Structure 1
Amino acid sequence: MAKVEKRSTLKVWGDVIFAIFLREIKSKSNDKFGVAWSVISPVAFIFMLSYIRGRMDGGETHGIPTFYFMVIGMVLVQFLLGCVGTVSASIKKNKPLYAFRQVQPISSIIAIAGFEFLIKLFVVAVIAVLAYFLQIEGQIHDPLKVMIILLQVWLISSSVGVIFSLASCYVPEIDKLRELAMRPLFFISGIFFSLQDIPREFWPYLTWNPLLHAVELARYAAYPQYGTEGVSDFFLTMSTLVSMFFALACYHVGWKQAISR
């Protein structure tokens, strides 16, 4: 007689998340490049733009080699934009699976957000290897701090993605508004400039953006001589907590109605 294995709720939840994670990998492997393209595309974009800017500048930007000044900003901004984009489509993408009692939208959100996090870690690793072979010298004074900032950006972007994902179930046109709203972040988050380059009277119009704080603090963690003037660890941490709380509250209130529409 076959033995029926009884699994705990946590074990079932973990198995569901892992299954959706594998499903996401398979969906990215439909062509010859497969998952590798998810790494190659951002690496090529970030590395080439940073390398060209570094060669044109020919020096340092506020005590940081221009190449790494650009790389830090572009990695974090690409991380946020990529994660918001994928997580915001997570609920609709896996809607047929919700017919199974064990599968809930939070499982697909965690799986897809986790997959995006791993992809970006590979992007950082590939850029580091390319910089090593091209003998572009760099340093990370406080790698733990850099990882914490990367984790905070991931949590903020996942939270924003959850809110957009729920909203798109009620109003499909919200996806167009999301794309429109996300585009300016590429220019106001400190990729091409430092906050120190902006007159102080304009700082209040820029420092509401937690991503700018993340970029500037990550540069400081790598190169302490860069400084942290105008940005705050406290603001970034509070932005992370508030965005997570708001996203979880919206999910708790509206996920059943969202998947039934």
Structure 2
Amino acid sequence: MALIKKRSTLQIWADVIFAIFLREIKSSFNDKFGLSWAIISPMIMVAVMVVIRQPFDGGDTHGLSTLFFIIYGVLLVQFYLGVMGKTAEAIQKNKPLYAFRQVQPISSIVAIAGFELLVKFFLVLVIAIICFFMRVDIQMHDPLEIILIVFRVWIIAISVGTLLSLASCYVPEVKKLQIFITRPLFFISGIFFSLQDIPQEYWHYLTWNPLLHAVELARYAASPAYGDAGVSYFYLDAFTLSSLFLALACYHIGWKQAISR
């Protein structure tokens, strides 16, 4: 007589997430150029921006080397855009799977966001290996704080992506609005500039952006000499918790109607 193994709800949910995670890895490896481009693209952007900025500051930007000044900005902003963009497509992408009652949209959102986190981990590992062989000292004064900042950015990206994913089920044109909103983030999130490069009377036009706070605070955690003028851990934490609460509330209210449309 065959034994029937009973699983808890949490175990079933974990198995579903893992299955979707493996599916995402498999689909990414089918498009090898796409996966490798996710690693190569940020490295090219870092190299170009360092070449442009270095002649102006002599290789040192407010107490942080220009190389790592650019690296922290590019990696955090691209990480946010990658996670947000993928999670915004998660519900529609995996809609056929919702015919199985064990599979819910939140499972695909978590799995895809986890995959993006794994890709960026390998990107950081590649950059660290390159720095090691080129004998470049890695500037990371407080690695724990940098990890916590990355985690905050990840949560914000998942939250915003979830809201966009739900909205696109009701209004498909939201995808066009998403592109319009995200493009300026490269210019207003401090990838190429520091808040200290801008006159203080103009800071309030930029400091509403939580990504700018995350980038500047990551640079501060990498080198205390960089300073944290104009940015706040409180604002970043408050925005992270608020966006997460709003995303979970909207998901709880509307996920069943969203997948039935």
Aligned to 2:79: 79
Q: C-alpha separation between the residues in 1 aligned to 2:206 and 2:150?
A: 20
CA contact (8 A) 1:73 1:191 kept: yes
Report if aligned partners of 1:54, 1:65 keep a CA contact under 8 Å in 2: no
Q: Residues 88 and 164 of structure 1 are in contact (CA less than 8 Å); yes or no, is this contact kept in structure 2?
A: yes
* C-alpha deviation, 1:33, in angstroms: 4.4
Alignment check: 8 A CA contact 1:53 1:67 kept: no
Give 3-state SS (helix, strand or coil) of 1:4's partner. Answer: coil
SS at match of 2:30: coil
SS at the partner of 2:255? helix
**Corresponding residue for 2:251?**
251
**Structure 1: 5+ residue stretches without partners:** none
- What percentage of residue pairs aligned between the two structures are identical? 63
Provide the residue aligned with 1:152 in structure 2. 152
Equivalents in 1 of 2:52, 2:157: separation in Å? 27
Aligned residues: 260
Post-superposition CA distance 1:11-49 (Å, at most 9, x none)? 10000000000000011111344744433333x334422
CA distance in 1 between partners of 2:74 and 2:134 (Å): 19
8 A contact 2:68–2:139 mirrored in 1: no
Q: TM-score, normalised by structure 1?
A: 0.95
1:129: Cα distance to partner? 1.4
Given that 2:153 and 2:211 are in contact with CA atoms closer than 8 Å, whether structure 1 keeps it comes out as yes
Unaligned stretches of 5+ in structure 2? none
The equivalent residue for 1:31 is 31
Q: TM-score, normalised on structure 2?
A: 0.95
Query: Which residue identity does 1:52 align to in structure 2?
Result: V
- Mapped partners of 1:70, 1:125: distance in 2: 17
For 1:110 and 1:62, the matched residues in 2 are separated by 37
After superposition, the Cα gap between the structure-2 partners of 1:136 and 1:53, relative to the gap in structure 1 and judged at 3 Å, is farther
The one-letter code sitting in structure 2 at the alignment partner of 1:49 is: V
Q: Could you say if the C-alpha distance between residues 217 and 96 of structure 1 is closer, same or farther in structure 2, counting changes exceeding 3 Å?
A: same
Identify the residue that residue 66 of structure 1 maps to in structure 2: 66
* Counterpart residue number, 2:168: 168
Give runs of aligned pairs for residues 105-254 of structure 1, distance below 5 A: 105-254=105-254
Query: Quick check: 2:80–2:153 contact (8 Å CA) kept in 1?
Result: yes
2:9 aligns with 9
Q: Distance in 2 between matches of 1:173 and 1:11?
A: 36
Kept in 1: contact 2:128–2:138 (CA 8 A): no
Distance 1:37 1:197, change over 3 A: closer
Mapped to 1, the partners of 2:21 and 2:202 lie a distance apart of 43
CA distance in 1, matches of 2:182, 2:154: 15
- CA distance in 1: counterparts of 2:70 and 2:36, whole angstroms: 23
CA distance in 2, matches of 1:137, 1:32: 31
- Partners of 2:50 and 2:193 lie apart in 1 by 16
Q: CA RMSD in A?
A: 1.4
- 2:42 counterpart of 1:52: no
Whole-angstrom CA distance in 2 between matches of 1:39 and 1:3: 46
